[in-house]
Amino acid sequence: MSTDFVYPYLPRLSVDKFPINFCCFEVYYSHSKKGVIRGLHIQGETSKLVTCQRGLIQDVIVDLRPKSPTYKKWIEVFLHDNESVFVPAGCAHGFKTACSSTVLYVCDEVYQPEADTGIRYDDPDIGVRWAWENIKPCIGVRDKRLPSFKEWSEKYGYDRIFV
């Protein structure tokens, strides 16, 4: 891995100070080459623990819970070599790789194909600023075909689920 990438220091919270009610039902992983953007994916009411097992990623979480004070806002976390972030239910998730990276997803629900959806990575209503502009992005066919936030909210809007 190249050492020319700078990522912010993230304070680590111990479980006793930040308890999460989470039970693992399924585990997945993906391997992505440099520049890959995945997401922004949503899986119904699934929460997940995302771990960058190897590499360096800009991990992005978008709050899609309409009654949340952070509705439609996004945060980024830079993860590398076994660092993790928790993605709550009702939030979309995506990432961009700075180098070849392996990402592990531990989910608290069983996969449901009918609930598997997402929002385009470049949706202007969300406005994610992807890191490493000097790295050419690589977007998969599935992610290119995801709907805009407006299209997604008209079809799937979490206002029916997360109140």
Q: Tell me the pLDDT tens digit for each residue of 72-101.
A: 999 999 999 999 999 999 999 999 999 999
**Angle 143-128-27 from CA coordinates, rounded to 5°:** 50
Q: How confident is the model at residue 120 (pLDDT cuts 50, 70, 90)?
A: very high
Quote the pLDDT of residue 154: 87
What's the distance, CA 49 to chain centroid? 10
Instruction: Report whether pLDDT(45) > 90.
Output: no
Report the b/e string of 128-162 with b at 16+ CB within 10 A.
bebbbeebeeebeeebeebbebeebbeebebeeeb
Q: Which residues are registered as beta bridge partners of 29?
A: 104
pLDDT at 112: 86
Task: State the fold for domain 26-160.
Answer: Jelly Rolls (2.60.120)
41 is catalytic: yes
CA distance 38 to 131: 13
**Interval 64-73 mean pLDDT:** 90
Choosing from 41, 93, 156, 158, the catalytic residue is: 41
Token couple for 157: 């809007």
In the set 93, 105, 121, 158, the catalytic residue is 105
Residue percentage of the chain with pLDDT more than 90:
63
pLDDT of residue 159: 56
Predicted pLDDT of residue 87:
93
When pLDDT is cut at 50, 70 and 90, the band that residue 136 belongs to is very high
Assigned token pair, 123: 């949706």
Q: How far is CA 43 from the centre of its chain?
A: 11
Distance CA 30, CA 41 (A): 13
CA atoms of 158 and 145, how far apart (whole Å) = 20
pLDDT of residue 126: 96
Q: How far apart are CA 60 and CA 77, in angstroms?
A: 7
Q: Which pLDDT does position 66 carry in this prediction?
A: 86
What mean pLDDT do residues 99-107 have? 95
Q: What are phi and psi of 142, to 5 degrees?
A: -55, -45
80 is catalytic: no
**Distances from the Cα of 13 to the Cα of 19, 47, 66, 107, 136, angstroms:** 9, 18, 27, 20, 34
Residue 22 pLDDT exceeds 80: no
